[in-house]
């Protein structure tokens, strides 16, 4: 194993001890509900999404429901998350596509997921790993920031980060690493003021070692 892969593994093992239960905080009871929640989560917190979906899923929870829903009602229901108008439109359109092309089911294929409106690489990775237990390493703002600060990657965008992380992290740990970086980004390695003095990764982090 090369030095960088060993370093990545050491980081993941330490994060595993720190966040043994790292996983999605989104609430859902079907693959479709998870897809809706992940689409809504772009530029919003999981708590905001859960507030919106807890009410919405009581009444609407299938692609049929979403395809038939009036767009104005959909906008009102998702009003509590950022970029709600675009997300409402995407949810309606993607539900119509699921019904037309996928028999009303969420496809368990990365490229098929990427064809759906509002679904980018991050969302497709999350759906593959959380809904289908397949390898997936989605890169959101936390993963992007933490991985770059640690020095595991040197990148300017999430696609580059995804590629570089996937090259050094064992495939069976992709999903876990995704959630661990998010937990660490929320609790310790925050955007504005990382708490480096209390960080379990201090002696493994480039940001600290360089100073």
Quick one: 2 or 197, whose CB is closer to ligand SF4?
Answer: 197
Is 140 known to be catalytic?
yes
Count CB atoms within 10 A of the CB of residue 16.
Answer: 14
- Binding residues for ligand SF4, rule: CB under 6 A, are 146, 149-150, 188-189, 194-196, 199, 201-202, 205, 207-208
Contact 87, 81 (CB under 8 A): yes
Q: Which of 110, 144, 105, 149 is nearest to 126 (CA)?
A: 110
Quick one: 149 or 178, whose CB is closer to ligand SF4?
Answer: 149
Largest Cα span, the chain: 57
First to last CA, the chain: 28
Active-site annotation holder among 5, 6, 89, 140:
140
Q: Which residues contact 34 (CB under 8 A, 6 or more apart)?
A: 24, 26, 28, 106, 127, 130, 131
Secondary structure of residue 7 in the 3-state scheme: helix
Report, in Å, the least distance between residue 195 CB and ligand SF4. 6
Report, in Å, the least distance between residue 87 CB and ligand SF4. 30
Report, in Å, the least distance between residue 1 CB and ligand SF4. 22
Active-site annotation holder among 21, 122, 156, 166:
122
Q: What is the DSSP string of 48-81?
A: HHHHHHHHHHHH--SHHHHHHS-HHHHHHHTTTS
Vertex 104: Cα angle to 102 and 109 (nearest 5): 40
Quick one: 88 or 199, whose CB is closer to ligand SF4?
Answer: 199
Report, in Å, the least distance between residue 188 CB and ligand SF4. 5
Report, in Å, the least distance between residue 189 CB and ligand SF4. 3
Quick one: 130 or 150, whose CB is closer to ligand SF4?
Answer: 150
Quick one: 107 or 194, whose CB is closer to ligand SF4?
Answer: 194
Catalytic amino acids? 122, 140
């Amino acid at each position: 194993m090369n030095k960088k892969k060993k370093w990545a593994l050491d980081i993941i093992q330490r994060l595993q001890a720190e966040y043994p239960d790292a996983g999605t905080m989104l609430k859902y009871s079907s693959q479709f509900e998870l897809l809706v929640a992940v689409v809504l989560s772009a530029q919003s917190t999981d708590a905001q999404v859960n507030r919106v979906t807890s009410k919405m899923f009581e009444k609407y929870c299938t692609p049929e429901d979403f395809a038939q829903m009036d767009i104005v009602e959909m906008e009102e229901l998702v009003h509590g998350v950022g970029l709600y108008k675009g997300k409402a439109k995407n949810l309606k359109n993607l539900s119509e596509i699921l019904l037309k092309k996928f028999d009303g089911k969420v496809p368990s294929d990365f490229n098929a997921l990427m064809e759906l409106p509002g679904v980018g690489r991050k969302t497709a990775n999350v759906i593959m790993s959380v809904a289908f237990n397949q390898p997936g390493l989605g890169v959101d703002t936390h993963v992007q920031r933490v991985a770059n600060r640690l020095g595991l990657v040197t990148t300017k965008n999430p696609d580059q980060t995804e590629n570089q992380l996937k090259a050094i992290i064992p495939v069976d740990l992709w999903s876990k690493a995704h959630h661990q970086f998010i937990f660490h980004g929320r609790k310790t390695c925050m955007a504005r003021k990382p708490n480096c003095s209390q960080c379990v990764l201090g002696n493994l982090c480039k940001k600290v070692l360089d100073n």
